[in-house]
A and B are shown apart, each in its own frame.
Chain A
């Protein structure tokens, strides 16, 4: 991995002595960011990478701050990533996992927000199964809120870490062709990536069987393919999405084996992409469903780099929301 290594983890100055302010209280979606803010966050994240590579993994800009990870949907990697990011910045981190069922039956989302707000946290990281739920919660609390995934809507830190990973490997974003393949209809990762990559002048392709393509997707992606071989042709980046097993029940698509045959990433299909194409996956992977294990663990795969970049991106986002002097309402 080619890696820029700034001397310290201060916000990048683009070599011009300029730091773009980050004027947001919350990070609810990529849709709220313009290309300059995206670039600034990527630069700040890049500057955070060395923190995690040094023996003393601490850069305590959030010392004394309280971070709550509020997860209404189970998640291992995203929650762990946010927890480590917060701890490396010196924040006090608390994890709260709430079963959605008990919430909808009894306490409402807004009640939960009010209760947590009274404990005066500085930032709440929220994942929820309903699109828009994180934004709703952000309206009811006084602290910063970061969207860690809301239904099929957005997952902004995933898109940022994907972009950072691509930039680390390709040296740029603009002009690349990125193919996103899989369950587009139900994917917040796809939506956030399409918004971010679109803003950064990347050519985006979505590839999926028709039942997994949402209406109007042609307005969000540069190109739409229902044939994976055609969609992969010449792509610089192949981004695979997880297919939930229950979708292959005959109602949306007939079976896992048929899906793998036509939409799983194997060596033969990957050969159609650019010779130096990289393979990405937001995880957790279903080996043998959407991706051949040999590809997932092979030399083209940058999946573990994505995990590393995830920590850097989340450190940069936390730091930007909580310490930027120009912090204002989102």
Chain B
């Protein structure tokens, strides 16, 4: 490990954090970036492993802010290890593990357990997130200080949205105390009611109860006001509507540390994909109208939205192959995140560097971790990507233990050829050169 130096040559290197974008060489020593240069490598270190990456893109490894696993408690859905396998294949070198497990990660000892399990079993970096409230119940805040000491890098209640404004105010203020970012899923539970898909004509035709846009924007507006009040580093975990983009843009214009993420699903799909009650498209937030999808894409381009995540949420067929309203929410996404995002590059909707920034340096900065960039001295977490590699998503070929993909049969262009964590190759595409 970390023994021989590594030299990757002839790649198009894109480092969104520094703005570097040129064909050149990357040198790795001791698991860290030693040099980055345009053109031919200035010299070949003795005993170096040389990788010719001609025709490939070299990007920092992806940092995914929203990944659910089943460990501990529901290992049949996903273990940390199987999630890490999927992550490596998808070019994700660090992911934030959501605390929605059994038991809930709401105690320092559990954060410590998760970190150790990840260390022992995972080929990518797993960052523990701790619950904001005990048991994700939205009532009593957890021990933020002790959780941070145990290794938690962020606070979130995962799929749950805290309904009490008073609890949120306390949580935001106390999180600011310990300089921990808060990632909050925004959904007004009362207004959402029994809704299961985007409210509109399509839900009406299907006879399904709708989720209004306001069920997202009302709590988002409240959160942004509370963030301004408390000075917390606030991240709206996932937004899905055009109105949310407007709220984020306005809040950013006011200043303060407020950011927002969007799921790759909300960028790629819309409510029509639900089709005839296809429960693999039952997501939270729901797939919205095409107008909302376009607004969110535009929000990403303009910077109102900061990060793209997979919202990787493994669910087994027992809970997924149910009548739509009774099926569980969620879709796996680690392996399709990058290729689905590249659709926006290929279509010309969002520049490549903007897309990569939203999956590398921006999420890393939100967590305040040393990742997502190719600066000298930074951990050598990077990926080699064939931007035009054509492939068709096949459920059976996924590495996750659960196969609930919303991209089954999708034709995508762009695939990870190799993934490196700390200078070690942890994934290589079968049959590919590098």
> Given known contacts A132-B276, A135-B277, is B323 in contact with A216 (CB within 8 Å)?
no
Q: Which residues of B contact A128 (CB under 8 A)?
A: 323
B2 interfacial by beta-carbon distance below 8 Å: no
Residue-wise, chain A 121-144 has the 8 Å CB interface mask toward B (1 for contact) of 000000010111101100000000
Are A132 and B321 interface neighbours, CB within 8 A? Answer: no
Determine the distance from Cα of A26 to Cα of B276 in the docked complex, in whole angstroms: 15
Are A110 and B324 interface neighbours, CB within 8 A? Answer: no
Are B207 and A154 interface neighbours, CB within 8 A? Answer: yes
A319 CB to nearest chain B CB (Å): 27
Are B208 and A131 interface neighbours, CB within 8 A? Answer: yes
Are B321 and A108 interface neighbours, CB within 8 A? Answer: yes
Determine the distance from Cα of A82 to Cα of B181 in the docked complex, in whole angstroms: 60
Residue-wise, chain B 29-53 has the 8 Å CB interface mask toward A (1 for contact) of 0000000000000000000000000
Are A215 and B277 interface neighbours, CB within 8 A? Answer: no
Q: Which residues of A contact B292 (CB under 8 A)?
A: none
Are B202 and A216 interface neighbours, CB within 8 A? Answer: yes
Q: Which residues of B contact A153 (CB under 8 A)?
A: 206-208
B200 interfacial by beta-carbon distance below 8 Å: yes
Are A220 and B277 interface neighbours, CB within 8 A? Answer: no
Determine the distance from Cα of A287 to Cα of B418 in the docked complex, in whole angstroms: 71
Are A132 and B203 interface neighbours, CB within 8 A? Answer: no
Contact count A vs B, C-beta below 8 Å: 73
Are A131 and B204 interface neighbours, CB within 8 A? Answer: no
Residue-wise, chain B 310-337 has the 8 Å CB interface mask toward A (1 for contact) of 0000000010011111100000000000
Residue of B204, B276, B321 touching A214 (CB-CB under 8 A): B204
Determine the distance from Cα of A268 to Cα of B321 in the docked complex, in whole angstroms: 50
A109 interfacial by beta-carbon distance below 8 Å: yes
Are A131 and B202 interface neighbours, CB within 8 A? Answer: no
Residue-wise, chain A 161-189 has the 8 Å CB interface mask toward B (1 for contact) of 00000000000000000000000000010
A150 interfacial by beta-carbon distance below 8 Å: yes
Determine the distance from Cα of A31 to Cα of B204 in the docked complex, in whole angstroms: 13
Q: Which residues of A contact B324 (CB under 8 A)?
A: 130-132
Residue of B202, B276, B318, B325 touching A135 (CB-CB under 8 A): B276
Residue of A104, A108, A109, A215 touching B204 (CB-CB under 8 A): A215
Number of A residues, CB within 8 Å of B? 25
B386 interfacial by beta-carbon distance below 8 Å: no
A313 CB to nearest chain B CB (Å): 21
Determine the distance from Cα of A154 to Cα of B207 in the docked complex, in whole angstroms: 8
B205 interfacial by beta-carbon distance below 8 Å: yes
Residue-wise, chain B 201-219 has the 8 Å CB interface mask toward A (1 for contact) of 1111111111000000000
Determine the distance from Cα of A214 to Cα of B201 in the docked complex, in whole angstroms: 8
> Given known contacts A128-B323, A131-B324, A132-B323, is B207 in contact with A216 (CB within 8 Å)?
no
> Given known contacts A131-B323, A132-B323, is B205 in contact with A191 (CB within 8 Å)?
yes
Residue-wise, chain B 190-208 has the 8 Å CB interface mask toward A (1 for contact) of 0000000001111111111
Determine the distance from Cα of A135 to Cα of B322 in the docked complex, in whole angstroms: 11
Determine the distance from Cα of A220 to Cα of B324 in the docked complex, in whole angstroms: 22
Q: Which residues of B contact A136 (CB under 8 A)?
A: 277, 321-323
Determine the distance from Cα of A109 to Cα of B322 in the docked complex, in whole angstroms: 7
B328 CB to nearest chain A CB (Å): 12
Q: Which residues of B contact A217 (CB under 8 A)?
A: 204
Are B325 and A215 interface neighbours, CB within 8 A? Answer: no
Q: Among B199, B203, B204, which residue has the most Cβ atoms of chain A within 10 A?
A: B204
Closest to B201 in A: A216
Residue of B201, B208, B325 touching A219 (CB-CB under 8 A): B201
Determine the distance from Cα of A109 to Cα of B209 in the docked complex, in whole angstroms: 20
A151 interfacial by beta-carbon distance below 8 Å: yes
Q: Which residues of A contact B208 (CB under 8 A)?
A: 131-132, 151-153
Q: Which residues of A contact B326 (CB under 8 A)?
A: 104, 130, 133
Determine the distance from Cα of A217 to Cα of B203 in the docked complex, in whole angstroms: 10
Are B323 and A215 interface neighbours, CB within 8 A? Answer: no
Are A132 and B206 interface neighbours, CB within 8 A? Answer: yes
A27 CB to nearest chain B CB (Å): 15
Q: Which residues of B contact A135 (CB under 8 A)?
A: 276-277
Are B200 and A215 interface neighbours, CB within 8 A? Answer: yes
Determine the distance from Cα of A104 to Cα of B203 in the docked complex, in whole angstroms: 23
Q: Which residues of A contact B207 (CB under 8 A)?
A: 131-132, 150-154, 188, 191
Residue of A109, A154, A188, A191 touching B323 (CB-CB under 8 A): A109
Are B325 and A131 interface neighbours, CB within 8 A? Answer: yes
> Given known contacts A109-B322, A153-B206, is B277 in contact with A131 (CB within 8 Å)?
yes
Q: Which residues of B contact A191 (CB under 8 A)?
A: 204-205, 207
Q: Which residues of A contact B205 (CB under 8 A)?
A: 31, 191, 216, 220
A28 CB to nearest chain B CB (Å): 9
Q: Which residues of A contact B202 (CB under 8 A)?
A: 216
Residue of A130, A154, A214 touching B325 (CB-CB under 8 A): A130
List 13 contacting pairs A-B, 8 Å CB cutoff, sorted by A.
A110-B321, A130-B323, A131-B207, A131-B277, A131-B324, A132-B206, A133-B323, A136-B323, A152-B208, A154-B207, A214-B203, A214-B210, A215-B200
Lowest 7 CB-CB distances: which A-B pairs, in order?
A216-B201, A153-B207, A132-B277, A130-B323, A152-B207, A133-B323, A131-B207
Known pairs A31-B205, A191-B205, A219-B201 / 7 extra A-B pairs, C-beta < 8 Å: A104-B326, A131-B325, A136-B321, A152-B207, A152-B209, A153-B207, A216-B203
